[in-house]
């Protein structure tokens, strides 16, 4: 499918992709041929040719007056931010990792420290051009004939179609971000303050521009607030020897450039670089800065997942097997203390990332209550499986607890729901209606089969 080597013209790329899609025989699984992935739903390599979307990785234009950008679906947020920052602008929500694509964040879910104000990345989308499962190219907006697809596309994970072009909102930025790390020893107090700032948008009479949190233990938790600034007495650099998440415990105030703030978590993949020894001072000095990136670490995990290197070594040492516990969940802010208590007791993994959010509109396949403050909890690592327990023991515990707390979990990673349970949480009725309109012959995978059965 070399036609898509032509990258100069979006419309040419669209027509070439349509022809490529039509050439795939019916009954053959359709998958994207992507250079990078931030999914943790592992699947065996497929012999079927992937749909080449390499012609859809550019920022088509930035309009600083309108504060919008036209962006192709496979464009990474790293490239998008590089295009908008020179205009003093950024997307409304920039997911934490550089190689997350705009289309991926919209058809899946993304979140970051502006989500308490601006919701999720798809809430900043104004227009969406999609190659649908039945081979059409449609443009969906909030109020045109394809508004059902516009609202149903988020959390569909490529099972209704693929985004080719998006028009998105941008927000003005300033050169620096001043950080305040507020420590809490009580989860109830932490949740109360998160909820109050989410509702008011202010702290101590100052407008809050960014907010997230980090839990190191039951009695050591932080809210990090970010405030735009035109100048800074210094700027910290966490792209080399220093490690951002450790600074949260060491400083009460810090300053970063806006670009370094946006990518503060990418250098160490939050804290997961420690699994590769990159937080060891000697290893860190030898590890080139250009390879201190989330996509590099993810490739290493994928290699280990494929060849089971660590698992084999641990079996040889006689250790109990480990379970991957890699999840992002949302619970109402008032239920956060209960979730954290459960998590400390039953899972015991730390740190935990916290990110408050409020949905501004209803998105059927990820039905959060509009305007209600939620908190995302992200945790990524492995836990030893207790003797006699099933391999997915902790993940199933988490799924049940999140459901009991009126929450949801993201589907970028492993899920173990039964089919009926899954559709109860992710609006099966709306999904089946959308599938019937935009993929009536079922050329694309079903959402349950893709996200739970791992096909």
pLDDT value of position 217? 97
The CA distance from 27 to 244, in Å, is 48
Q: Does any domain span residue 298?
A: no
Mean pLDDT (whole number) for 115-119: 97
Beta strands in 289-422 (DSSP E): 322-332, 352-357, 374-384, 408-409
Supply the pLDDT for residue 38. 58
The domain in which residue 138 lies consists of 3-173+433-452
pLDDT-derived band at 455 (thresholds 50, 70, 90) equals: low
pLDDT of residue 2: 34
Q: What is the pLDDT of residues 68-79, one digit of tens each?
A: 999 999 999 999
Judge whether 354 lies within some domain: no
Select from 86, 87, 92, 98 the least CA-distant residue to 113. 92
Nearest to 166 by CA among 199, 115, 122: 122
The pTM is what?
0.94
CB 323 within 8 A of CB 392: yes
Cβ-in-10-Å burial (0-12, 13-18, 19+) of 159 comes to buried
Following DSSP, what letter does each residue of 99-165 receive, concatenated?
Answer: T-BHHHHHHS----TTHHHH-SGGGGEEEEEEEETTS-EEEE-TTSTTHHHHHHSTT-TTSSEEEEE
Residue 449 has a pLDDT of 93
- pLDDT tens across 30-39, in order? 877 666 665 6
CATH number at residue 161: 3.30.465.10
Q: How far apart, in whole angstroms, are the C-alpha atoms of residue 439 and residue 133?
A: 4
pLDDT digits (tens, 9 = 90+) for 145-187: 999 999 999 999 999 999 999 999 999 999 999 999 999 999 9
Q: Is 437 inside any structural domain?
A: yes
Can you tell me which residue has the tokens 């949740």? Answer: 191
What does the pLDDT look like over 231-251, one tens digit per residue?
999 999 999 999 999 999 999
Is residue 88 assigned to a domain? yes
Residue 189 confidence (pLDDT): 98
SS3 235: coil
Q: How many domains does the chain have?
A: 1
Stretch 196-225: mean pLDDT, rounded? Answer: 98
Rounded Cα distance, 232 and 210, in Å: 17
Residue 17 resides in a domain: yes
In percent, the amount of the chain with pLDDT more than 90 equals 83
101, part of any domain: yes
Q: Is residue 226 part of a domain?
A: no
Identify whether 84 is part of a domain: yes
- Residues 285-316 have pLDDT tens digits of 999 999 999 999 999 988 888 888 887 887 88
């Amino acid at each position: 499918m070399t036609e898509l080597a032509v990258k100069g013209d979006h419309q040419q790329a669209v027509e070439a992709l349509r022809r490529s899609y039509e050439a795939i025989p019916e009954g053959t699984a359709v998958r994207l041929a992507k250079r990078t992935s931030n999914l943790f739903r592992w699947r065996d390599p497929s012999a079927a040719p992937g749909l080449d979307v390499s012609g859809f990785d550019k920022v088509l234009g930035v309009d600083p007056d309108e504060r919008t950008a036209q962006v192709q679906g496979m464009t990474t947020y790293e490239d998008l931010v590089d295009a908008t920052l020179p205009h003093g602008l950024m997307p409304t929500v920039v997911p934490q990792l550089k190689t997350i694509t705009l289309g991926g964040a919209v058809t899946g879910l993304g979140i970051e420290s502006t989500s308490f104000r601006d919701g999720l990345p798809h809430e900043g989308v104004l227009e969406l051009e999609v190659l649908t499962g039945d081979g059409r190219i449609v443009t969906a907006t909030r109020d045109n004939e394809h508004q059902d697809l516009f609202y149903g596309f988020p959390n569909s994970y490529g099972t209704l179609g693929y985004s080719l072009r998006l028009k998105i909102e941008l927000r003005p930025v300033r050169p620096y971000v001043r950080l305040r790390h507020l420590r809490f020893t009580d989860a109830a107090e932490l949740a109360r303050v998160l909820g109050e700032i989410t509702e008011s948008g202010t702290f101590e009479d100052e407008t809050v521009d960014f907010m997230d949190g980090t839990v190191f233990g039951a009695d050591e938790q932080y809210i990090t607030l970010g405030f735009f600034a035109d100048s800074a007495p210094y700027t910290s650099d966490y792209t080399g020897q220093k490690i951002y998440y450790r600074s949260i415990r060491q400083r009460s105030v810090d300053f970063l450039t806006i670009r370094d703030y946006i990518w503060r978590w990418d250098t160490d993949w939050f804290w997961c670089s420690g699994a590769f020894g990159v937080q060891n001072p000697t290893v860190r000095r030898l590890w080139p800065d250009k390879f201190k990136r989330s996509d590099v670490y993810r490739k290493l995990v994928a290699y280990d997942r494929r060849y089971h290197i660590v698992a084999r070594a641990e079996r040889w040492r006689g250790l109990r097997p480990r379970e991957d516990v890699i999840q992002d969940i949302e619970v109402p802010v008032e239920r956060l203390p209960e979730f954290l208590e459960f998590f400390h007791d039953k899972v015991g993994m730390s740190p935990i990332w916290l990110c408050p959010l409020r949905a501004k509109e209803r998105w059927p396949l990820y039905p959060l209550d509009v305007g209600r403050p939620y908190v995302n909890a992200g945790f990524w690592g492995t836990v030893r499986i207790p003797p006699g327990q099933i391999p997915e023991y902790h993940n199933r515990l988490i799924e049940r607890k999140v459901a009991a707390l009126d929450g949801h979990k993201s589907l970028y990673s492993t899920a173990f729901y039964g089919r009926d349970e899954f559709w109860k949480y992710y609006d099966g009725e709306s999904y089946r209606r959308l599938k019937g309109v935009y993929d009536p012959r079922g050329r694309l995978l079903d959402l349950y089969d893709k996200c739970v059965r791992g096909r």
